[in-house]
Amino acid sequence: MTSPVPPTGDRSPSAPALRISYTLGTLAESDLHASPLEQFRSWFGDAVESGLQEPNAMVLATGDAQGRPSTRTVLLKDVDERGFVFYTNLESRKSHELATNPAASCLFPWLALHRQVVVVGAAELVPRDEVEEYFRSRPHGSRVGAWASSQSTVIDGRAGLDRRYAELAQQYPEGADVPLPDFWGGWLVRPETIEFWQGRESRLHDRLQFRRRAQGAADLADASHWIVERLSP
């Protein structure tokens, strides 16, 4: 039997020994809502009600022109019949990669519920009026911070970043209008597939996928635009 603690004095756990049994639920075709939007909102509601920290956190995977992948966690800020929306610096690595290669995948890891949702599709920029509306809803500090950070660039240290933020906070004090930076915006991921994964015992998980019937934009709220498929675990 593998010991969870190596005998060498290294107190880090042994990865193979970290194992749980998935027994919290099942997912049958009859359990699904008619449309992927309804299904996602239902599971998202479950995640919120369960008390999960930041259930809107999603792992975003992108790729550069050579196909080299990169991942990071971003926050879902809207989901509607078009797809999944997040906001970011348009000069960041992820934005440069999406501008070159719009293919993207978003993973919602709701591990405490033994669930995950995987979205695969193509990203496009969010209309500027929507970006403006969302930016003005952000806390004052976050709006100032958007100006302070040249995201994904190499910097000399933390001190310079803090100094830049302090200068901007003085320029735009609490209550002042903080304008939307030209280099800040949003991305909309239009899904081609959305997989709903429910952990099951013996690693025989339930995987049900909504797949877009035809090329082009599909309405997430319209069940007729989607085919439901069961994937082998």
158 inside domain: no
Angle at which helix 140-148 crosses helix 158-171, to 10 degrees, equals: 120
Report pLDDT for 1. 38
188 inside domain: yes
Amino acid at position 150, single letter: S
Report pLDDT for 129. 97
- With a CB cutoff of 8 Å and minimum separation 6, the contacts of 48 are 55
Q: What is the pLDDT of residues 179-220, one digit of tens each?
A: 999 999 999 999 999 999 999 999 999 999 999 999 888 999
- The encoded tokens of residue 138 equal 């952000």
Q: What is the pLDDT of residues 193-203, one digit of tens each?
A: 999 999 999 99
- The encoded tokens of residue 25 equal 């639920």
Point out the catalytic residue in the list 128, 200, 203, 212.
203
219 inside domain: yes
pTM here is: 0.91
73 inside domain: yes
210 inside domain: yes
Report pLDDT for 44. 98
The segments of the chain whose pLDDT lies below 70 read 1-11
Residues spanned by the domain of 52: 24-134+184-230
Between CA 30 and CA 105 the distance in angstroms is 26
203 is catalytic: yes
143 inside domain: no
Length of the chain: 233
User: Residue 109 sits in a domain of what CATH number?
Assistant: 2.30.110.10
93 inside domain: yes
Which residues on neighbouring strands pair with residue 211, listed in sequence order? 193, 227
User: What is the count of structural domains for the chain?
Assistant: 1
- With a CB cutoff of 8 Å and minimum separation 6, the contacts of 123 are 98, 102, 103, 104, 187, 188, 189, 190
Report pLDDT for 40. 98
203 inside domain: yes
